[in-house]
Amino acid sequence: MEFADLNISYSAIAPEIITSLTGVAIMLIDAFSKQGARRTNALVAIIGFGLTLAALAGLWTGTWTPFGGDYFSGMVVVDHMRLIFSFIIVIVGILAVLLAGQFLKDEELPAGEFFSLVMFASAGMLMMASAGDLVMVFLGLETTSIATYILAGYRKYDVRANESSLKYFLLGSFATAFLLYGIALVYGATGTTNIVGIQKAIASGAINYPPLLLIGAAMMLVGFGFKIASAPFHLWTPDVYEGAPTLVTAFMATGPKAAVFAAFLRVFAVGFSSPTTGVGETLQETWVSVLAVIAVLTMTIGNVVALTQKNIKRMLAYSSIAHAGYALVGFVTGDFGPVAFYLLAYAVMNIGAFAVIQMLARPGDRKTEISDYAGVGFETPLLSFSLAIFLLSLAGIPPTGGFIAKFFVFRSAWESTPGLRWLVIVAVINSIISIYYYLYPIIVMFFRPLPAGFSKPKVGAGVTAVLVLTLAGVFFLGLMPDRVLGALNQGRGAARVAIQEAFR
């Protein structure tokens, strides 16, 4: 390969560069300043995310970099799918930074590391969204995971956080090893790690030993399944989400999940979808049906187990599993649009809900049982009404974003793949079941007596901003989804595949 074939374009990776540099800058500021410089670091992080958004917008308009190309010899792609997922990731990052100020102040934790880890995790997520090669998928996944392992254990003198971090680390690395072994086998079978190259190799039938490809794809499915917390690979989720600081839980449940879905879609819906040859058809039919089964299991287990939970963080962890299942229903259509919209709506409402939980739980996450919420409804109206709206949105009640997201996913699955309509029916039944456990905390908040000795939590400016933004987001997505849907439709075809044919 000659040097010119590398196709180097720094504007194509500008978002990743800006986020990483911001992370490094925060580390340096933290090292230079004596007092920790929490405000400065938060400001720098926000500015970094702002510049990243600008870079993404620049890429979207196509002024610097031609659209639809790949750069760095196929490592990085610029298309609608990447940019939409990148927008979701940056939104999650901004909300996390806004929430972090009060968390770090209340618990007197070091600030510099937190913001730089959030920046590095975001850089990893952006890399996953932009990956055109399995090397980038792996690198992005690990950058994100390593940063979030530390974030999960950020309260380093809290035993629960230690445990959460350790479990996340051990099971996360275990899953990564599976994913990596899958990548190795797929590489051996197709002779390339480029995702489009894999698709071409399968389409041309030039597979060295077809079983290798199938085993490799299965192991990659296991690896990705772990990372998005789908059943039966979900067992780490409740423990990790409960033990981690609430803010970190909100971050982990939304950002990395969206990024892994982006990479998952890119690998499976682009790489493993050329049903023209025998092995290609077998592969595609197999993964679509396996994913359909996983989606059913994920939704059902998530929702049914959430019914019995007493701890609100644990309940939302199971709810997060269930929501991954709904997103998987969108996944089997092979189109990224429904998945991206669903994950955007989920990110907004979930971070909002966790922001309220962080406030009501007080420093150290002491009050996270649902019974702790008794009677707080009219004492702290801003928090309790916001939480009620977010929970209703998670349940999928109109006119919230959660409803439109579910509707969009279910409709596109219903219309595009007649062979998988049963999946949509299961999903609808599941979302009806879920209403019970989302309504329960609302009832406890408003209709149970307030225990004595209740003190109102102090809500800082950052948290207020997050609540306003997420509430606006929930209603914007619920009442005026046209703009976002329009942007998604613009990008159709980028990752659209012919799964529909396989199930007609």
Partner 1 sequence: MRTFYQNPETIIVNALLLFQQAASTALPGPDSATPPVFSYLPIALFLIVAAAFPGVALLVLRAVRPQVYGPQKMMPYECGLDPIRDARERFSVRFYIIAMLFLIFDVETVFLLPWAIAFDRLALFGLIEMIIFVGILVVGYYYAWRKGALNWV
Partner 2 sequence: MIPLSWYLALSAVLFSIGVVGVLVQRNVIALFMCIELMLNAVNLTFVAFSRFLDQTTGQLFVFIVMAVAAAEAAVGLAIIISLFRNRETLNVDEADLLKL
Q: Which residues contact partner 2 by CB under 8 A?
A: 134-135, 138-139, 142, 146, 149-150, 153, 156-160, 162-167, 169-170, 173-174, 176-177, 180-181, 183-185, 187-188, 191-193, 235, 238-239, 242-243
Tell how far CA 70 is from the center of its chain: 24
Of 180, 187, 178, 181, whose CA–CA distance to 209 is shortest? 187
Partner whose footprint covers residue 149, from partner 1, partner 2, none (CB < 5 to 8 Å by kind): partner 2
CB 151 within 8 A of CB 114: yes
- Closest distance to partner 1 from the beta carbon of 46 (Å): 21
Q: Which of 31, 455, 482, 504 binds partner 1 (CB under 8 A)?
A: 31
Binding part of the chain for partner 1, among 24-32, 246-254, 269-277, 321-329 by CB under 8 A, reads: 24-32
Strand partners, 311: 369
Partner whose footprint covers residue 67, from partner 2, partner 1, none (CB < 5 to 8 Å by kind): none
Size of the site for partner 1 (CB under 8 A): 7
Binding part of the chain for partner 1, among 30-38, 49-57, 435-443, 491-499 by CB under 8 A, reads: 30-38
Contacts of 260 (CB under 8 A, 6+ apart): 128, 141, 224, 227, 228
Partner whose footprint covers residue 250, from partner 1, partner 2, none (CB < 5 to 8 Å by kind): none
The Cα–Cα gap between 477 and 482 comes to: 8
The Cα–Cα gap between 435 and 428 comes to: 11
Residue closer to partner 2 (CB basis): 193 or 254: 193
Residue closer to partner 2 (CB basis): 217 or 495: 217
| 32 touches partner 1 by CB under 8 A | yes
Residue closer to partner 2 (CB basis): 156 or 411: 156
Residue closer to partner 2 (CB basis): 333 or 368: 368
What does R_g of the chain's alpha carbons equal in angstroms?
22
**Total residue length of the chain:** 504
Partner whose footprint covers residue 35, from partner 1, partner 2, none (CB < 5 to 8 Å by kind): none
SS3 of residue 48 by DSSP? helix
Contacts of 349 (CB under 8 A, 6+ apart): 390, 393, 394, 400, 401, 402, 470, 473, 474
| 159 touches partner 1 by CB under 8 A | no
Q: Which of 10, 16, 22, 27 binds partner 1 (CB under 8 A)?
A: 27
CB 48 within 8 A of CB 18: yes
CB 203 within 8 A of CB 283: no
> Which parts of this chain interact with partner 1 (CB under 8 A)?
3, 24, 27-28, 30-32
